[in-house]
Amino acid sequence: MTIAAAIEELKTLLGESCTTSKSDREIHGRSEVYYAPMPPDAVVYPTSAEEVSEIVKICARHDCPIVPWGTGTSLEGHALALKGGVTVDFAKMNHVVEVNAEDMDVRVQPGITRMALNEELRATGLFFPVDPGANASIGGMASTRASGTTTVRYGTMADNIRGLEVVLADGRIIRTGSRARKTSAGYDLTHLFVGAEGTLGLITELTLKLQGQPEAVSAGICAFPDMESAVNCVMETIQMGIPMARIEFVDAATTLAFNAYAGRDMPAQPHLLVEFNGSDQAVTEQSERFGEIVAEHGGSEFEWATKTEDRNALWQLRHDGYYAILASRKGATAMSTDICVPISRLAEAVTETQKDIADSPLDGPILGHVGDGNFHAILMMDPDSPEELKEAKRLADRMAERALEMGGTVTGEHGVGMGKMKYMAREHGEAWSVMADIKRSLDPQNIMNPGKLVQVN
Amino acid sequence: MTIAAAIEELKTLLGESCTTSKSDREIHGRSEVYYAPMPPDAVVYPTSAEEVSEIVKICARHDCPIVPWGTGTSLEGHALALKGGVTVDFAKMNHVVEVNAEDMDVRVQPGITRMALNEELRATGLFFPVDPGANASIGGMASTRASGTTTVRYGTMADNIRGLEVVLADGRIIRTGSRARKTSAGYDLTHLFVGAEGTLGLITELTLKLQGQPEAVSAGICAFPDMESAVNCVMETIQMGIPMARIEFVDAATTLAFNAYAGRDMPAQPHLLVEFNGSDQAVTEQSERFGEIVAEHGGSEFEWATKTEDRNALWQLRHDGYYAILASRKGATAMSTDICVPISRLAEAVTETQKDIADSPLDGPILGHVGDGNFHAILMMDPDSPEELKEAKRLADRMAERALEMGGTVTGEHGVGMGKMKYMAREHGEAWSVMADIKRSLDPQNIMNPGKLVQVN
C-alpha cells in the first residue's frame, strides 16, 4: 500500500503528531452536512511550514492524498478524505505571528479561528471583519473563499488577504503578495490560492487586512410584507451609497424557527436585519435615512439594538440560523444550498425557490445575505431516507439551474467541494477545463485534496 | 517567415483591418517612456471576440507573437512588439454592451476608455471609479491591474471587475466570474487574467462594478513641513476610519513643476491633495475631522475646492503631474518608478529616495498615492545619453531594492512589462517560477505578448 508506506514515513518524521487512532480518524471523517463519513488513513498535526513541506514531500513520493483540515465546519465535504490518505490538521499552527497596527495588517497561521484572532486583536482597536457565522479557521475561510454577514461592507476573504505562504504539491514553500496595499507585480497568485480548497497547495500563513473598530454601531430588525419589498429597499439603500455593515434577510419559515429556538415572538413575515458602523453622527444619519427607505417600502417600525448585548443577541440569532432551522425537525440532517444572483433578480429567485419548496414534501426555510444577492435554503431531510435525499438534490438542482439562468453562481460562499462539482461544467463552460489545466500544472500527481473542485481525469 | 505567413492569412480574414503600413506600425511601436521604438510586423483591428479567436488561431498556427493594444499609455513597454508579430488594437471594440443600473454593473468591450465609459454612464447616476490619470482603455487598465488616485476608497482594477471574456492562446473563448457580487465556484480566473498583461490571453469583454455618484464632493490641498508629518496625518485618518475618496501627495520639487506648468503659486513644500465623497452631512463631518488631524500634524490651513470647476482643476493638476515634471527639463524623456510599501514605511522610503536623487546628477520629483503607500519618482534624462539612462536605472534599482526590504513591491500599479522583469525573481522567489508554470500551461507556444512579465525559457 502506497498510503501505508507514506504513513510509516510520517510517523518517523512526526512521532505522536501522526496518528492513526480510530477516534482521530473518525473525527476527521465527518462534516456538518449530510455526507456519509469518509475518514482519512492518518491525521498529522504539523507545527511549521517546513514540517508541512516535509509531509507533502513524503506524500508526493508515495502518491498519497493530502486533505487540509481547519475546524471541519465547511458545508460541501471539502475536508472529507474522499480517496483516503492523510489529513493535515492545522490545530497546532494557530498563532498570530505579527500585528502591524500602523499598517492595519496581521500575519497569522492558518489554524487560528476568527474568534480567537479577534480576541487577540481586541487591545489594538482593530478587527478582522469577515464573519461566516461558524467559528471557522482563517485558513479554511481562505480556502473556501468564505464571506458572510459583513461582506456587503468589508468584502469576502478574497478582498481581505494581502498575501499567503503556501506549500506546493512538490513541497516548495512560496510566498504570494506582499505587505503593500496593492501590487501589479505579476500574476495574482494570492487570489488563485484563495478559494482553491486546498487543491493547489496548503496555506501555511496569511497576511490579513484589518479594520478599525467603529466608534458607533447600531443594529436593528424589521418585518416586511414580502421579499420583493425587502429586496427593493436594500437595492435603493445601496444605490444611494448608504454603507450598511450588514444586511441580512430571513423568510417567514426561518422567523418561526427563530421564535421556537430562541423564545422570540416575531411575526411570521420576512425580516431584514441591518447594522451600521461609523462615527456617532454617521451611524445616526445612516439609520435615519435607512428608516425612511424602509417605510417607503412598507417595512414595519424598526426595533433597534444599540446596546452591545442586544446587538450580540441579534447576530447570535442570525448565526444560529442553521441550527435553529435544523432543530425545527427532530433528527434531521440538512443540505445547505448557496446560490448567489444579481440583486435585481434576488426577490424572484427567492420567491421561485419558495414555490418549489412549497410543492415539495421537504421543508426548506430560507435566509441569506441580501446585500450580496446570496441565499441559503436549508433543505431538511431524514438522514436515513434515500427518497428525501433525492428530493433535496432535485430542489438544489433547480436552484442551481435558476441561479445560472439569472447570471449568478451556484455557490456564493460555501465553495465547490464534492457537492457542487456536478454544476461546474454548466457554470463555467470551457473555463472549467482551464481550471483543470492549472491544477495539472501545479499538482500533476493530483495528491492535493483530490476529488474536490476540479476534475482532472 | 512564419510571421509573414500569419499576416497573409490575417489579410485574407480581415481585409483592410489588417495593416502593415509604416505609419500604423510606427504608432504601435512607441510608448510614453524611454524605450526605443519596437514596431510590430502588422496591426489588426478586430470587431468581435470571434474575430479575435480567429486571429489567435492563425497566429498560433504560425508561431506568431500577439501583442494587445489599448491606448498605448502603459509605462513599462507592455504594448511594444519586442519580438515583432501582430499587434491587436482594440480601438474598434470600444462599446458599452449593457448597463445594469439596478445591479450597479456594466459590460464593456476592452477598447473603451475610462472617460468615454463615464461619459456614457453619466445619465445613470453611476460611475466607474478607477482613475489612473491617463485616459487609458479599460482592457489595458485591467491587464496592468491599474489603480490611481481613487484606490484608497474604491480599490484597484482587481477590486472592480466581476468577470471577463477572454480569448486563450489556442483560440478558445472563455468567460470568468459571473454577474453575482461574489462567488466561491472554483479558481478565481478573473483575478488571474487581471494584471496578466496579455501574456495568458486577450480580454475581449469585461463586467465592471459601478458606484453611485456621490451627493457631495469636497476636495482640497494643503502644505506640510515634511513628508513624515503628511504621512502620519494620513495614517491616523485611515485608522480612524474616515473614508477619503482620494489622498495624494507631491513633494516640493513637484510643487515647483506645478507652479511653472499651471501658473500656480504654491510654497515649495510637500502637499497633500484630498477628496471626500458622500452625503452633504458626511462630507462636512469628514472634512472637519480631517482638518483637525492636519492641524495636529503641522499642516497648513486647507484650501478647499467645493465648486466642480475648482475641483476639476485641482485633479487635472495632479493628473498632469507627469507632463508638468517632464516640461521642467527641455527635451527630456523619463523613467517612472512605481514602488509601493507598507504605509508605515512610506515617509522613510520617500526620504531615502530623495537623498539618493539629491546625490545624483539627475532630477526626480516625487508624487504618489499616500493612502496606498505607492509613489513615483519621475527620473528625467536626455534621451540620447546612455550615461543618464544608466544613472536612472541605478536610482530605480535602489528604489526597488528598498521597497522589497520594506516588505513592499517594485510596482504598485504600472505592471511588469519589460522594465520590471529583472526584479521579479527577487520579489517573488520561487513564486515567479510558479507564474512560469501557469504561463506554460495556458500558452505553451509563448505567443501571447512574449517577453513581458514572466520568463518561460
The Cα of B227 is separated from the nearest Cα of chain A by a number of Å equal to 16
In the predicted model, is pLDDT for residue B457 greater than 80? no
Condensed to tens digits (0 to 9), the pLDDT of residues A333-364 reads: 999 999 999 999 999 999 999 999 999 999 99
The Cα of B194 is separated from the nearest Cα of chain A by a number of Å equal to 8
Say which of B147, B151, B187 has its CB closest to residue A196: B187
Say which of A146, A191, A408 has its CB closest to residue B180: A408
Residue A303: the pLDDT is: 87
Say which of A159, A186, A214 has its CB closest to residue B159: A159
For residues A209-225, one letter each, b for 16 or more C-beta atoms within 10 angstroms of the residue's C-beta and e for the rest, the string is bbbbebebbbbbbbbbe
In the predicted model, is pLDDT for residue A293 greater than 80? yes
- Chain B contacts of A168, Cβ < 8 Å? 434
Phi, psi dihedrals of residue B271, rounded to the nearest 5°: -125, 150
Among B444, B413, B440, B411, which Cα is nearest to B426's?
A: B411
Condensed to tens digits (0 to 9), the pLDDT of residues A164-210 reads: 999 999 999 999 999 999 999 999 999 999 999 999 999 999 999 99
pLDDT band at A116 (very low <50, low <70, confident <90, very high): very high
Residue B1: the pLDDT is: 58
Cα–Cα distance, B205 to B172 (Å, whole number): 14
The Cα of B113 is separated from the nearest Cα of chain A by a number of Å equal to 20
pLDDT band at A162 (very low <50, low <70, confident <90, very high): very high
DSSP for A136-153? -BHHHHHHTT---TTHHH
Question: Looking at residues A377-405, what average pLDDT do you find?
Answer: 97
Q: How far apart are the first and last CA of chain A?
A: 22
Residue of B147, B182, B239, B440 to mutate when probing chain A, most A C-beta within 10 A = B182
For residues B137-171, one letter each, b for 16 or more C-beta atoms within 10 angstroms of the residue's C-beta and e for the rest, the string is bbbbbbbbbbbbbbbbbbbbbbbbbbbbbbbbbeb
Partner-chain contact B438 A408, CB within 8 Å: no
- Chain B contacts of A408, Cβ < 8 Å? 178-180
The Cα of A108 is separated from the nearest Cα of chain B by a number of Å equal to 16
Inter-axis angle of helices B280-296 and B227-239, to 10 degrees? Answer: 140
Q: Are B382 and B332 in contact, with CB atoms under 8 Å apart?
A: yes
Weakest mean pLDDT among B148-152, B305-309, B409-413: B305-309
Helix (H), strand (E) at residue B334: strand B333-336
The Cα of B263 is separated from the nearest Cα of chain A by a number of Å equal to 34
The Cα of A423 is separated from the nearest Cα of chain B by a number of Å equal to 9
Partner-chain contact B239 A104, CB within 8 Å: yes
CB neighbour list of residue A421: distance below 8 Å, 6 or more residues apart: A452, A453, A455
CB neighbour list of residue B25: distance below 8 Å, 6 or more residues apart: B39, B40, B41, B42, B43
Residue B173: the pLDDT is: 98
- Chain A contacts of B185, Cβ < 8 Å? 409-411, 415-416, 420, 423-424, 427-428
Residue A1: the pLDDT is: 58
In the predicted model, is pLDDT for residue A306 greater than 90? no
**Is the pTM value of this prediction over 0.95?**
yes
Condensed to tens digits (0 to 9), the pLDDT of residues B408-442 reads: 999 999 999 999 999 999 999 999 999 999 999 99
All 3 cell numbers of residue A404?
445560472
Handedness of CA A296, A302, A308, A312 (dihedral sign): negative
In the predicted model, is pLDDT for residue A34 greater than 90? no
For residue B5, the 8-state DSSP code is H
> Mean pLDDT, chain A, as a whole number?
96
Query: Hey, which of A225-239, B136-150, B278-292 has the most confident mean pLDDT?
Result: B136-150
All 3 cell numbers of residue B366?
516625487
Say which of A192, A412, A441 has its CB closest to residue B188: A192
pLDDT band at B95 (very low <50, low <70, confident <90, very high): very high
Cα–Cα distance, B194 to A430 (Å, whole number): 18
Handedness of CA A100, A101, A103, A108 (dihedral sign): positive
Say which of B103, B278, B344 has its CB closest to residue A103: B344
In the predicted model, is pLDDT for residue A302 greater than 90? no
- Chain B contacts of A198, Cβ < 8 Å? none
> ∠ CA B265-B266-B272 to the nearest 5 degrees?
150
Inter-axis angle of helices A421-428 and A430-442, to 10 degrees? Answer: 120
Inter-axis angle of helices A346-358 and A227-239, to 10 degrees? Answer: 160
Cα–Cα distance, A72 to A40 (Å, whole number): 13
- Chain B contacts of A235, Cβ < 8 Å? 102
All 3 cell numbers of residue B60?
498560433
Residue of A181, A215, A287, A414 to mutate when probing chain B, most B C-beta within 10 A = A181
ipTM exceeding 0.95, yes/no: yes
Count of CB contacts below 8 A, A vs B? Answer: 292
Nearest CA in chain A to B173: A430
Residue A104: the pLDDT is: 96
Cα B307 versus chain centre, distance: 28
The Cα of B22 is separated from the nearest Cα of chain A by a number of Å equal to 33
Q: How far is CA A366 from CA A257, A317, A346, in A?
A: 11, 14, 12
